[in-house]
Structure formats: C-alpha cells, structure tokens
Amino acid sequence: MTSIPIRDTPQGASFLVRVQPRARKSAVQGVMGEALRVALSTPPIDGRANDALILFLAELLNVPRSSITLASGERARNKRICIAGRSAAQILAAMENILL
C-alpha cells in the first residue's frame, strides 16, 4: 500500500483524511488519492464523527487527543488533520505499520 503525503507546517504535521461515517466498525481502510481513508462507526451528527476521528487517530498514532485538530473540513468527508508537536517524519513512522 502506498503512503500518504504528510507535510510539516508551523502548527505541526498535517495530512488529509477521507472519512466514511456510519461504517460497521472504525478502521483504516487504506489510501484514497492523497488521503488516509478512515471508516468510523459514529454518525456525522452534532460533530460526533469529528470527535470520534480525533480519538481514533490519537489512539492509532499514540499522540494526545489535545494535539490533534481539524485544520479544515469540519462538515465534509475530506478533512485536513494537524498534529501539534510532531514532525511529518514522526507521524510517517507511526503510520508505517498501519499502511503495510
């Protein structure tokens, strides 16, 4: 499986995510274009899917939830995620086992 482009920004590491809400289970489904494709079991009601995405990524990448923010795409399936205090190289290393 190919990797996704992760960029260093002044705020931290940044990458794209494509979310599929209301899935049977929450899981990484691979790569779609330049985005990490993530299925979430949570419905997109009142921002619950965004909260679930942040929690899912925090556990997946072993970072604090407070360091993850939605830089864009709050109401869209395509989102830009920013992880403060981490470099692109650190996030890429954490994703290595996920994207095999």
- All domains of the chain, ordered by start, with CATH? 7-95 (3.30.1200.10)
**pTM, entire model:** 0.92
Structure confidence at residue 1 as a pLDDT band (50, 70, 90): very low
- How would DSSP label each residue in 16-79? EEEEE-S-SS-EEEEEETTEEEEE-SS-SSTTHHHHHHHHHHHHHHT--GGGEEEEE-TTSSEE
Span 28-59, pLDDT tens digits: 999 999 999 999 999 999 999 999 999 999 99
